[in-house]
Amino acid sequence: MKKAGGMLYALLGLLALLAGTSPARAGRELTSPEIAPGSGIEMKITSAYEEIPSFGYVPIRVAIKNRTSAARTWQFESANVQASIRTTNFSASLRVEPETEKIFDLLVPLAPQFDTYRRYSNLTIVINGYGVISGRTGGMSTGSRGEEHQRRSSAWARRCR
């Protein structure tokens, strides 16, 4: 019994650590793909975060309403680019049965950041499939190496005066 209690405290400590590292933000709705009028399809894409985290994953929710009489499948593709150097790609098939709505919670991987300060990061999302005219979404962008570098350099220069 003592061992189980220790495991519980270790698990609670891990959960507290993870909760402390993720931003407590409401998230935001991303621009959805352009859907053909009368197709019977609706899509909504949201991110759990306002900005792209500096590492790990970004939770993306894709809600699809399929009001057609056939099951439909869409291809979700993302690319995360860190400072034009590293890219991480991700893809998933999203299938929705006829006359139903389905929510997909995806953990989209991010390219690793090796620098000690925040760099520019861009997440592009494209969805292709039935009823989609233009699958490119608004995606997400965050930071800028130039702005961050200039801010740090200016602060350092002020300290040296």
Which CATH number fits the domain that encloses residue 46?
Answer: 2.60.40.10
Q: How many domains does the chain have?
A: 1
pLDDT tens-digit profile of 96-134? 999 999 999 999 998 877 654 556 778 889 999 999 998
Whole-number Å distance between alpha carbons of 10 and 16 = 10
Amino acid at 84: S
In a domain, 150, yes or no: yes
In a domain, 3, yes or no: no
pLDDT tens-digit profile of 89-100? 999 999 999 999
In a domain, 14, yes or no: no
In a domain, 154, yes or no: yes
Q: Phi, psi at residue 94, to the nearest 5°?
A: -115, 110
- Terminal C-alpha separation, the chain: 62
Task: Tell which residue, 44, 53, 56, 51, has the closest CA to residue 26.
Answer: 51
In a domain, 143, yes or no: yes
pTM above 0.75, yes or no: no
**Structural domain harbouring 69:** 22-160
